[in-house]
Amino acid sequence: MINTVQSSGEPMRERRYGSVRMTVSLTPVIFPFDFVDLTQALKKKQYEVAIDLPMAGIGRRVGGAGIIAKRGDISVVADSERRFVGIDGRSPKDVSSSFEQLTHILKDELWVDVHAQVAFYEVNMRLNVLARGNPTKAITEFFEDLEGIQVLESIIGERTSLFTIRLVPKDKLPSGNEWFDIRLEPDVSRPEHAMAVEIVYRKASYKDVRNFIDTVDQKIEAILDRLEQKRCV
């Protein structure tokens, strides 16, 4: 559970992260490192290997997909066919710092500079946030004056509201290297008390993705502040 303090001094809403993943997808057609070499490098950093691998040989690389190694709540994940490597965890801060360390391990031990071979970086996360009011009511009231809602009501023939908020970049496609998808909806098991949040954030710029994951708690808090503020206007 996370409950920190905003710059304004007001405590943030309590939140529970289900999962946080940060990965880098690489451009080379041939995956640039061997999983055996990676596990040996990770052992030096107190990771426990979580996969059984055959011995590599001359002209033969060992690849695969899944969790490669673990250290506490942090897992190193990779997929040689989809050409990505990254970190799984339960905290944006821990995942961000562990990903940074992983890039140094790859560069120093395996001679692979992922930043020089990047297609894009991506963050995926799921969490639940304890609301200060009723999330279902907050979403309804925030969008109740939207003209499109009134049009849909006239088609359906009943009072209509949004249940889910889904934010994406204007004029971009989900198949591109520049994309985000921020989804908020009342937690179906506690719709009057908690908000479920799912996020995908993808960019070719490491600086942009690192800044996003390092400030994601503040961004979520600001969105919820604005949604709940509508009730007080």
Is the pLDDT at 45 greater than 70? The verdict is: yes
Sorted by sequence, the CB contacts under 8 Å of residue 59 that are 6+ apart come out as none
| pLDDT score recorded for residue 164 | 94
Half-sphere exposure of 171 (CA within 13 A, CB side): 0
| pLDDT score recorded for residue 113 | 95
Domains, the chain, ordered by start: 1-22+123-233 (no CATH), 28-116 (3.30.310)
| pLDDT score recorded for residue 9 | 59
| pLDDT score recorded for residue 165 | 94
| pLDDT score recorded for residue 65 | 83
Q: Which residue has the higher pLDDT, 47 or 34?
A: 47
Which of these ranges, 56-65, 86-95, 192-201, has the smallest mean pLDDT?
56-65
Distance CA 95, CA 112 (A): 20
Provide mean pLDDT across the span 23-32: 90
| pLDDT score recorded for residue 233 | 42
- Under 8 Å between Cβ of 88 and 77: yes
Reported pTM: 0.87
The percentage of residues in the chain with a pLDDT greater than 70, rounded to a whole number, is 90
